């Protein structure tokens, strides 16, 4: 089955009170439009995005997140049916057209797959039930649960107003059937707009059975204001936390766990409060993530603990490691098994070997640290000369004294020692001691004379 998804993203979203287009507002660290496109990719569907308000900024964002989506411009916002009609030129005969909305980002793949499967007779719609459906178009069905029409609140009878099932606006329909139906939709209403909801009555009158598919209310909610956007953020956080619990991850408080990407984990992993997981996260067995940690695109091995207030981004941590508190592992950091990165230590494009330690107040950039080497407090690799970055290499079983500066490019051998407070500018051979500091001078009676 060939699917072509039309994503409506032309709305102004004035109630957002923002300079950004509505579909560019973010939840879970990602724009609403990108979340919809991610769902479309999982369906292996073609995509056409209908642009309108702030089309330049939306197009720029779209080009940064997708190479496959087509775009069309809805020059005047004349209603949802008009928006869909503007994208018809991108579709082809024989396709089923799925209509989604750029500000309804949480619809599940399961619901969409069911919707598509049930469109085998030509047309299916996604609905939901509300305890308080006031203001929404009610789904009118027959005894066989076939949708006959969508009746707006102002046009509904008292009996119809008692119906709790409403139309979400999401639908799947044969391309040829869509073209025929859109030609019959008029703007004979108070707003003088062409409404996609009218399509149900028009297609039903042609004898086509329309299947309503019920979705969970949370997944079909949209956002037209910052208040509604925050509500989506809460729903997404809860959905993602439930996924972690299903994987067997222990959460101290799911309301204070933010997942903004994909997480896989082994057994007996634990997350304390206020943890943010972004991008692709892979946790081994028995991994413990302390409170107030931020992890993005990180792989962590078995039995490793990340202490509170640490920041790990595009890094790899081995098994049996201890990281933090207040550690920062930047892009390209590889912390090998049983190594330790302590408080206020920052690494960047650095390999810290097995069993190596950098316990306090250290910067290691563009460095390779050998196994079982100890990096003393206050040590820095001086990797930048104002124009280029250079590498520092320290062999295994070495000891770098407190408050040392290693001026790259420089190599320190195996089982070597660097005295505390040294500035090392030349290579140090294996088994050697290097001391590079100014001579101490003592002037007795200096304070007395000074006063």
What's the fold here for domain 3-220?
Spore Coat Polysaccharide Biosynthesis Protein SpsA; Chain A (3.90.550)
pLDDT at 317 over 70: yes
Average pLDDT score over residue span 28-57: 95
pLDDT tens digit string along 351-382?
A: 999 999 999 999 999 999 999 999 999 999 99
pLDDT tens digit string along 233-267?
A: 999 999 999 999 999 999 999 999 999 999 999 99
> What's the pLDDT at 234?
96
In 324-403, DSSP assigns E strands to 328-329, 334-335, 340-352, 357-369, 374-375, 380-382, 392-394, 399-400
pLDDT at 450 over 80: no
Helix, strand, or coil (residue 326)? coil
Q: What is the percent of the chain with per-residue pLDDT over 70, rounded to a whole number? A: 99
- When pLDDT is cut at 50, 70 and 90, the band that residue 448 belongs to is confident
Q: Please give the full DSSP string across 170-228, using - where no structure is assigned.
A: EEEEEHHHHHHHHHH----STT----TTHHHHHHHTTT--BEEEE--GGGG---SSHHH
> What's the pLDDT at 39?
95
Query: CA angle, 220 as apex, 23 and 125 as ends, to 5°?
Result: 110
Q: What is the percent of the chain with per-residue pLDDT over 90, rounded to a whole number? A: 91
Identify the CA nearest to 375 among candidates 318, 427, 422, 436: 422
Identify the CA nearest to 314 among candidates 362, 352, 347: 347
Question: Distance from first CA to last CA of the chain, Å, rounded?
Answer: 92
Q: In the predicted model, what is the mean pLDDT of the chain?
A: 95
Q: Please give the full DSSP string across 234-250, using - where no structure is assigned.
A: HHHHHHHHHHHHHHT-E
Angle between helix 32-42 and 109-117 (nearest 10): 50
Average pLDDT score over residue span 48-57: 95
Identify the CA nearest to 321 among candidates 334, 347, 345, 303: 303
What residues act catalytically? 360
Is 161:140 a contact under the CB 8 Å cutoff?
A: no
DSSP structure class, residue 95: P
Instruction: Round to whole Å and give the CA distance between 159 and 215.
Output: 23
Average pLDDT score over residue span 208-228: 96
> What's the pLDDT at 164?
96
pLDDT at 63 over 70: yes
- When pLDDT is cut at 50, 70 and 90, the band that residue 409 belongs to is very high
Number of Cβ within 10 Å of residue 207's Cβ equals: 6
Q: Could you tell me the maximum CA-CA distance found in the chain, to the nearest angstrom?
A: 108
pLDDT tens digit string along 90-130?
A: 999 999 999 999 999 999 999 999 999 999 889 999 999 99
> What's the pLDDT at 122?
92
> What's the pLDDT at 451?
61
- When pLDDT is cut at 50, 70 and 90, the band that residue 188 belongs to is confident
Average pLDDT score over residue span 271-291: 98
Average pLDDT score over residue span 401-425: 98
pLDDT at 333 over 80: yes
Residue of higher predicted confidence among 192 and 378: 378
What's the fold here for domain 226-434?
UDP N-Acetylglucosamine Acyltransferase; domain 1 (2.160.10)
- When pLDDT is cut at 50, 70 and 90, the band that residue 286 belongs to is very high
Average pLDDT score over residue span 302-308: 98
> What's the pLDDT at 117?
95
pLDDT tens digit string along 122-177?
A: 999 999 999 999 989 999 999 999 999 999 888 889 999 999 999 999 999 999 99
Q: Domain locations in the chain? A: 3-220, 226-434
pLDDT at 85 over 70: yes
Average pLDDT score over residue span 323-335: 98
């Amino acid at each position: 089955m060939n699917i072509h998804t039309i994503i409506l993203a032309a709305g102004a979203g004035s109630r957002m009170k923002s300079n950004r287009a509505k579909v560019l507002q973010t939840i879970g660290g990602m724009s609403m439009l990108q979340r919809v496109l991610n769902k479309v990719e999982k369906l292996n569907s073609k995509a056409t995005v209908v642009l309108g308000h702030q089309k330049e900024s939306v197009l720029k964002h779209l080009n940064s997140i997708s190479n496959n989506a087509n775009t069309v411009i809805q020059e005047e916002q004349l209603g949802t049916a008009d928006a869909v009609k503007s994208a018809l030129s991108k579709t082809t005969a024989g396709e089923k057209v799925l209509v989604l909305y750029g500000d309804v980002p949480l619809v599940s793949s399961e619901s969409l797959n069911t919707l598509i499967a049930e469109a085998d007779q030509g047309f299916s719609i996604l609905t939901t039930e509300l305890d308080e459906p006031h203001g929404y178009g009610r789904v009118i069905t027959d005894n066989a649960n076939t949708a006959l029409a969508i009746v707006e609140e102002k046009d509904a009878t008292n009996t119809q107003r008692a119906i709790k099932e409403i139309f979400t606006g999401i639908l799947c329909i044969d391309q040829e059937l869509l073209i025929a139906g859109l030609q019959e939709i008029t703007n004979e209403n108070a707003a003088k707009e062409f409404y996609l909801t009218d399509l149900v009555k028009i297609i039903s009158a042609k004898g086509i059975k329309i299947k309503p598919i019920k979705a969970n209310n949370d997944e079909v909610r949209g956002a037209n204001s910052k208040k509604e956007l925050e509500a989506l953020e809460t729903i997404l956080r809860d959905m993602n936390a439930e996924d972690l619990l299903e994987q067997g991850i222990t959460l101290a408080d799911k309301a204070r766990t933010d997942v903004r990407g994909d997480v896989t984990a082994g057994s007996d992993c634990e997350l304390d409060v206020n943890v943010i997981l972004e991008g692709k996260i892979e946790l081994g067995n028995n991994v413990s993530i302390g409170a107030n940690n931020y992890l993005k695109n990180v792989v962590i091995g078995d039995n490793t603990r990340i202490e509170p207030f640490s920041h790990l981004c595009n890094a790899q941590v081995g098994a049996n490691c201890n990281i933090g508190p207040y550690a920062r592992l930047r892009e390209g950091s590889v912390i090998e098994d049983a190594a330790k990165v302590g408080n206020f230590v920052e690494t960047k494009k650095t390999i810290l070997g097995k069993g190596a330690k950098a316990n306090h107040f250290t910067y290691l950039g563009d460095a390779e640290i050998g196994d079982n080497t100890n990096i003393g407090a206050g040590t820095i690799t001086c990797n930048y000369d104002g124009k280029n970055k250079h590498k520092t290499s320290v062999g295994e079983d070495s000891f770098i004294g407190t408050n040392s500066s290693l001026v790259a490019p420089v190599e320190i051998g195996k089982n070597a020692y660097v005295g505390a407070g040294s500035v090392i500018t030349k290579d140090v051979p294996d088994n050697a001691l290097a001391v590079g500091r100014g001579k101490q001078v003592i002037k007795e009676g200096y304070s007395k004379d000074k006063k």
